[in-house]
Structure 1
């Protein structure tokens, strides 16, 4: 007879967490944030709602954790493939090319039907919930912006960016226009627009002879 094996509770917990994350993202995309409930997430994930409340205080917290998990997995995949993406901004020696590559990927992510509704919901909830908003900025947004800061500092060292430029301020010249157009839905968010943002921003950041 094979020996009795004690169930691996950590693996079971990981599976449950992943199921809850996927359920939360899917439901917000399908029915909207307002109509998404802890009960609905639990039913979709095949767990009891007390399981969710044991790990998270609210559906907003579930959604934020789902995004952090998704970002971590994307970074791991990018590192494994040797690419940039979420794991870092490539440094080919051509700052404009590198920034356009990453901003185009950002456009694709913001336009992705699978993540657009959850991203909008989390962004809006962070405005009315200062605690969640601070967690969103600290855990998700700021680490991604720091990747741009690192690449711009490398541009300063190579002479592509003026030495007197504040990289953290310069980042907002690149990402804020995309966020503005995406949030307000004023005009289509496209690769061509991302390229134009980079070109316009670098005219003000580049070193002049």
Structure 2
């Protein structure tokens, strides 16, 4: 049985990857507010209409960049050692190790996630502690994960630093409460 095809040109994988790469680079460099479909199209060598045909909005394009691992290249996964406190601390440290040089990316992702639930869900998946589907139980209580990520985001947005013991202190503080 033949599958139905959308009207218009077939989606070129080469063009799709060029668009995603341009969007990811410009997002990381300029932030969401200064990301334009025109700029992405020019860098990717495609027309604006191609981007709008494949993604309904700039946030949908950013969400796909997240899914493809182009904004946060490695999903952060806490180890499974049998010691939840140590696993959380290791997870927090991996996020802190990623932040230097990526502060503007974090700020832009927070702003974009606040405006678009799809981006928020994709960002949560890349952070690695939220289940990606309903059949997978959460490993850590949502409130613990939100408190930890909230503390990291707030400190980062304020321009605060993360010294060597921050991950351990944060996890200890959250788990003690």
* Same fold flag (TM > 0.5): yes
- Is the helix fraction higher in 1 or 2? 1
Q: Give the root-mean-square deviation of aligned CA atoms.
A: 3.0
Deviations 1:147-172 (A, max 9, x none): 5x7433xxxxxxxxxxxxxx222222
1:194 and 2:177 are equivalent in the alignment: no
Unaligned runs of 5+ in 1: 1-8, 76-84, 153-166, 205-209
Cα distance between partner residues in 2 of 1:201 and 1:37: 39
Q: Which has the larger radius of gyration?
A: 1
User: What is the CA–CA distance in structure 1 between the aligned matches of 2:125 and 2:143, rounded to whole Å?
Assistant: 13
Q: Whose relative contact order is higher, 1 or 2, with alpha carbons under 8 Å and at least 6 apart?
A: 2
Distance 1:32 1:136, change over 3 A: closer
Match of 1:172 in 2: 146
Output the TM-score relative to the length of structure 2.
Answer: 0.74
Aligned length: 163
Check conservation: 2:41, 2:47, Cα contact below 8 A: yes
Q: CA shift at 1:108, angstroms?
A: 2.4
List gaps (5 residues or longer) in structure 2. Answer: 1-8, 132-136
Query: What is the aligned partner in structure 2 of residue 141 from structure 1?
Result: 124
Instruction: Answer yes or no: is 1:29 the counterpart of 2:21.
Output: no
Measure, in 2, the Cα distance between the counterparts of 1:74 and 1:32: 17
